[in-house]
Amino acid sequence: MKINANLSTESGWEIFEHNFIADHLIATGSNFLIGNGYLGYRGTFPEWRKDQYVGCFLSDTYDNADGKWTELCNVPNALYTLIKVDGEAVITSESLTYENDHKEHSYCRKLDLKQGLMSIRNCWTSKDGKRLMLKAEQFASYADLHLIPQRFELEVDRRCVLEIITGIDALVWDLHGRHLFDHSFSSGPDHLSVKVKTGELGTRIIVMEGLSIDGKKPFKQTISEAENQEGIFRKLAWELEAGEKLVLEKIMVVYSSNDLPDPGVAANHSLKNALEKGYTKLKADHTPYWEEIWFKTDMVIEGDLKAQTVLRFNHYHNFIATPFHSDCLPIGARGLSCQVYQGSAFWDQEIFNLPVYYYTKPEIARNILTYRYKTLDGARHKARELGYEGAFYAWVSGKSGRELCPSFFFTDVLSGRKIRNHFNDWQIHISPDIVYAIWNYYLATGDWDFIKKYGAEIIFEVARFLYSFAYFKKDKNRYELIRLVGPDEYHENVDNNAFTNYQARFSLHTALIVYDRLKEINPDYLAELLKRLNLSDEDYWQWEEMARLIYLPQPDPENGVIEQFRGYYDLEDVLPFRLEERLIDKSEYWGWPNGVAVHTRVTKQADVLQLLCLQDIFPPDIVKCNYDFYEPYCQHGSSLSPAVHATVAAKAGYIEQAYKYFMHSCMIDLAETNKAFSGGIFIGGIHTASCGAAWQVIAFGFAGIKASEEGISFNPVLPEPWHEVRFKVFYRAQELYLTISKASFSISAPSENSAPVQINAYGNTAVLQPGEMLLFKEPLS
């Protein structure tokens, strides 16, 4: 089954690449990434080096090299391997061999989504006609997060001398300056190693490599350090006969001093254990983790193999970007595929990456939300620095929660001058977005313990911030939020952005609900918390007043449209494709302060539609007319946008458009639809938020899932190509199996469930008991 001209699948669990295309080198390295939330290793070729964007990016290694960008470190590459046949270097990415002027396809790169494996198969032909059959496979272990095992199978068709140069390549690709210093190389009978320190914080990192050989022993074997701290390498050589095979197994081990005080001891132990087990046993230890992941998170689509495959591709990348092992680290906006966006959290984390975990693996969602609690002091610091109270979360948040977003993010490619953007001080919706996520996590899981221990403090501090930020307009008796940037980042310095104002009210209402409930069931804890935060009943009534009086742009009585921000209707009415014609340079930034979109209605991404995606407070006719109005103006300059349009289109009843946008969202990385450069800044890598959003389009759009304290509701529809969709969700620790078809919707509960669940579908309410099934036969449109 073709996915596009160069990609295909057979079962929906794998992606095959049939030709290597050099122009796609950056994107395919990201797409074929392996990872485990601790590290990400790009899907590159064995002999590649930094010029081909090889990377192993390590979580919790934040470092600032240039005084502007704090980012994760790319560590030395212990999977480097150069193969030579009779002195001629093997290019493992070569897609074609030649025999009698006939092109013969022999190359395949494969991403095994089911087991988290990346493999390469190729039959390379030398200039004098010798052939080397090569198979290589590797994975980032979930059984030991510090391991990347790799296995080579090599076979020659003629007698030759096979030479292999393999070891640790210490020349690394960095976006914003050098991070690693003080290289110390060493070797032993079964290992190579390099120790380095980061330049800013002195974080110690050790990378080790182990090698085992199955087959003829090499007639030559040496170890040497390269000049200029370029690495440490083995050189091995064999005289092989026709048909003779070699199997090489390499182990890459990575630790940092942020993992434990003595990373060297731990790395030695991991490497020794891995070499003793061997590749096959390490793989057997690893695959059950993926079995458990897919058992809980997989969505089965019958009738559309392409959609099935690209959906799983997005699930895979969302999961390997998530640091499930920690409650101190964020989900990076490009995951661990590169240094873009600094390995840091944006609002993407709460709004796009997390919801799948509320309903499938809530322990992971709790970990990531706990990270927001542990970075609360960073949010308080930012608020104070800007003259506010409470918690104003960083737009770009690393481990500490301090703001990492530079004030001058883009460069004007026409003049070369820096552009002052205000993502870090006007985009306040980040704080209420976090409250929105916390409360929706609670609705899905019933985890009041989290609210009590962590959530309440965040929620109260965000309410305090919003009250200190708001402007009370006495002549209109209302609170306003001015000087904002909404989700549409092309328009900065706007007043009363509808999305931001509605999210602010949601946060204030949530603060009141949590306050009242704590007062009722945990009064002693509430008293202690208020004392610690220096809050009182007066703050409660201030929040109540602001929630009641905050200005909320209302649907126009004539056309039902909600104005995105004050003055939006006065902007030039032009569509994105016409605006693009005005660009002098294709890489110009379209937004503030002087981009081509600033004085027009063209939006970077969903804004009012983002509001309608999150808050089900408007009737279907309002959803529909706002979709009709805003959809043509969206340029989709953000990868977040297509999934939002898909979800809102499904809610509006535009099922064909919902399907179109769903596929657009799922193909963003595979089809390279989004530019790698904007405003002079490299922004490539895996778009992890759109990966997380793929699950949401089906769950919240096509299935219409909505959790409340009373129960869970559904309003399912299916796009035309799909015959059936099946998946499971967990609602308040109760497992539910969903099947949506053209003719019916069924939901069943295993007998192991501990409690009944109230179900609402198509407006009909029923109680689902453990071991029972409910069947709804209302026709689906």
Please determine, for residue 666, whether its predicted confidence score (pLDDT) is greater than 90: yes
- Looking at residue 679, its pLDDT comes to 57
Closest Cα partner for 206 from 142, 268, 273? 268
The question of whether 200 is a catalytic residue gets the answer: no
CB atoms within 10 A of CB 722: 19
pLDDT tens digits, one per residue of 582-616: 999 988 999 999 999 999 999 999 999 999 999 99
- pLDDT score recorded for residue 150: 98
Tell me phi and psi for residue 205, to 5 degrees.
Answer: -130, 135
Residues of the chain by 3-state class (helix, strand, coil), percent to 5? 35, 25, 40
Q: Identify the residue with better confidence: 219 or 101.
A: 219
**Which residues have C-beta within 8 Å of that of residue 708, sequence separation ≥ 6?**
443
CA distances from 575 to 602, 603, 612, 631, 662 (A): 6, 10, 22, 10, 22
Q: Give 162-202 pLDDT, tens digit per residue.
A: 999 999 999 999 999 999 999 999 999 889 999 999 999 99
Q: What is the pLDDT of residue 678?
A: 58
Choose between 277 and 675: higher pLDDT.
Answer: 277
Summarize the confidence of residues 568-574 as an average pLDDT: 98
Structural contact between residues 332 and 269, judged by C-beta atoms closer than 8 angstroms: no
Smallest Cα–Cα separation from 682: which of 30, 64, 4, 45? 30
- Say whether 226 sits in a helix, a strand or coil: coil
Quote the pLDDT of residue 226: 86
Alpha-helical (H) ranges within 581-630 are 608-614, 620-630
- Per residue in 439-468, pLDDT (tens digit) is 999 999 999 999 999 999 999 999 999 999
Token pair 């690394």: residue: 172
Tell me: the pLDDT tens digits for 91-117?
Answer: 988 765 444 444 455 899 999 999 999
pLDDT at 213: 95
What is the β-pairing status of strands 478-480 and 191-198? unpaired
Catalytic residue among 14, 225, 461, 489: 489
pLDDT for residue 100:
44
Across residues 494-511, what is the average pLDDT? 98
pLDDT of residue 334: 95
Least confident of 29-38, 187-196, 727-736: 187-196
pLDDT at position 780, please? 45
Tokens representing 471?
A: 């402007």
Q: Which percentage of the chain shows pLDDT scores above 90?
A: 91
pLDDT reported for residue 549: 98
The mean pLDDT of the chain is: 95
> Above 50 in pLDDT, residue 669?
yes
pTM: 0.96
Question: What confidence score (pLDDT) does residue 736 get?
Answer: 98
Query: Burial of 539 by CB count in 10 Å (0-12 exposed, 13-18 middle, 19+ buried)?
Result: buried
Sheet of strand 299-302, all strands in order from the earlier edge strand to the far edge = 299-302, 724-731, 734-741, 745-748, 773-776
The residue-averaged pLDDT of 272-288 equals 98
- Checking if the pLDDT of 230 tops 90, the result is yes
Measured distance CA(682)–CA(387) in Å, rounded = 33
CA distances from 222 to 90, 225, 235, 237, 476 (A): 20, 10, 5, 10, 81
pLDDT band (50, 70, 90) for residue 528: very high
